[in-house]
Amino acid sequence: TDLVAPLGLDRWQQADCWPGAVVDGIAHYPSTPPGPLRSPIDGCRHGELLPASVVEVRAAVGCASVAFEAWRNVPAPRRGELVRRIGDAVRARKRALAQLITLETGKIASEAEGEVQEWIDVCDYATGLSRQLHGLTIVSERAQHRLLEQWHPLGVIGVISAFNFPVAVWAWNAMLALVCGNAVVWKPSEKTPLTALAATALVLDVLHDFDDAPAGMVQLAQGDATVGALLAADTHVALVSATGSVGMGRTVARSVAARLGRSLLELGGNNAAIVTPSADLELAARAIVFAAAGTCGQRCTSLRRLFVHEDVAEKLQEKLVTAYQHLSVGDPRLPATLVGPLIDEAALNHMQAALMRAEHEGGHVLIGGGQVRAGGNVPGGGHYVRPALLAMPEQTDIVHQETFAPLLYLMRYTRLDDAIALNNAVSQGLSSAIFTTDLREAGAFIGPAGSDCGLANVNVGTSGAEIGGAFGGEKNTGGGRESGSDAWKNYMRRATNTLNDGNALPLAQGVRFG
């Protein structure tokens, strides 16, 4: 309740119920039964969520389509100015937004603020991009002809995002989509609707004071997978950008492909790191602990597999066990806490099941894995666990699976080629890392026969990517790239124009006709 006014949520709050849809800046309260909202911190109820109805999702897409028709004609640098102002507004509300993220996701303050910082960073990035949405000029094979390549706004962009990054992933998509001249309809995770509402409220405030912005450019459609399915199937949604599980991605991709729409997928990761004999073990250990235990192991980039050369395995293992012993688990609002709760009971059950299966497959727990009882810095009503480190005899079935929890499987290797092959042996391909001071080993890892992931780091953990690079991965991760580099091209359509400024009409390929 302390956050309602600073985040501009007061005008959306009606009898403690939060709208399932914000269409054209107007909150809708459908008749669908509400679901309770509970914080993972202590299980306390902080409101009710009303999922958007079919009619509202259609209305959101319809209003966005109308807004798009006006917004696409606004010059791109002016569109950049809107996003610049959004960035300023986010800066002003950074702390309050971060607090709401902590309340809904259970991530610690520093990580929640880091997430808001990603939104700010992508605003700056998108503002700069708004003067650089450039194509090519290409020489023609015909006299007095030239080829021109242009990038035009695409249409309505549907964004489906996950609970673990409730604003950053939407912001990567939405801020780029806006400078590219599109309208956006957002289906956030049903676990983080308040953060989505606060982010939308902030953008609507900025839009309200911005002359050339048509109403309805930014829409919110809350709810579960059924709302996502409506967006995926809607022919008026030009691109569906979806972040979440592989299963969700498959369903969305099938539906979008059936209507020959575009999809951009950022799905599961089962990220590995290799530690070679030349590695700086102190640095490696610090990077590994943050990547594996940070955000309670609930990032798509979290480190889940570790391949350590047999010569340094004992030493690194010791360092990791010591570091894990000192990890403070508890209330994410307390400054000393490093690991907050899991998102819900289902996540806890998945973690416990994975631990049991790993032990059944020959692994043994080196440290952690247990539930942390309430008391002291650990509130009752949440699902708190000690991050787990397991020694595995080999890359067994369970290691091939992404368990969204702080579980790190440690395996030993002898030859680097084998470690790289193991890194690549899983179905996912998001992030990876090597810890080495040997230039040749680093080169092998980031070369064409090295890591097959979209992100391959050297002496940097698997998580915590900067927004300036293209973010995403291969294979079952879905192949999409978001955020930096040339990811903006996903949100535009390319037109090739052939121009003739002569009097003759030569045909390409020397064809004669008449």
> Residues in the site for ligand UN1, rule: CB under 6 A?
118, 162, 164-165, 168-169, 243, 299-301, 463-465
Assigned token pair, 415: 């030859």
Whether 417 and 393 have beta carbons less than 8 Å apart is answered as no
Least separation in angstroms between CB 463 and ligand UN1: 4
Residue 33's Cα: distance from chain center in Å? Answer: 29
Q: In what order do the strands lie in the sheet containing 388-391?
A: 364-367, 388-391, 407-413, 303-309, 271-275, 431-435, 455-458
Of 168 and 285, which has the nearer Cβ to ligand UN1? Answer: 168
Q: What are 138's strand-pairing partners?
A: 147
Nearer to ligand UN1, 160 or 201 (CB): 160
Report the candidate in 386, 477, 392, 394 with the shortest Cα–Cα distance to residue 430: 477
Closest approach, Cβ 363 to ligand UN1, in A, equals 25
Task: Provide, rounded to whole angstroms, the least separation between the CB of residue 392 and ligand UN1.
Answer: 24
Nearer to ligand UN1, 12 or 404 (CB): 404
Q: Which two tokens stand for residue 61?
A: 């897409």
Let me know if 266 is a catalytic residue: yes
Angle, helices 54-71 vs 225-233, to 10°: value is: 50
Minimum CB separation from ligand UN1 for residue 434, in Å? 17
Nearer to ligand UN1, 255 or 301 (CB): 301
Residues 6+ apart with CB under 8 A from 492: 133, 151, 152, 153, 154, 180, 181
Q: Which of 182/463 has CB closer to ligand UN1?
A: 463
Q: Which of 104, 111, 266, 441 is catalytic?
A: 266
Which residue number, 43 or 464, has a Cβ lying nearer to ligand UN1? 464
User: Rounded to the nearest whole angstrom, what is the least distance from the CB of residue 102 to ligand UN1 in the complex?
Assistant: 16
Return the number of the residue (65 or 432) whose C-beta is nearest ligand UN1.
432
Judge contact between 50 and 17, C-beta under 8 A.
yes
Q: Report the candidate in 250, 259, 226, 283 with the shortest Cα–Cα distance to residue 30.
A: 226
Q: How far is CA 236 from CA 150, 157, 160, 187, 259, in A?
A: 22, 9, 16, 15, 10
How far apart are CB 295 and ligand UN1 at their closest, in Å? 8
Residue 27 exposure: Cα atoms within 13 Å on the Cβ side: 17
Query: Where does residue 106 fall: left (phi above 0), alpha (psi -120 to 50 degrees), or beta otherwise?
Result: left
Residue 78 CB, nearest approach to ligand UN1 (Å): 29
Q: Rounded to 5 degrees, what are φ and ψ at 89?
A: -65, -35
How many Å apart are CA 359 and CA 375, to the nearest integer? 29
Pairing of strands 237-243, 262-266: parallel
Q: What are the catalytic residues? A: 266
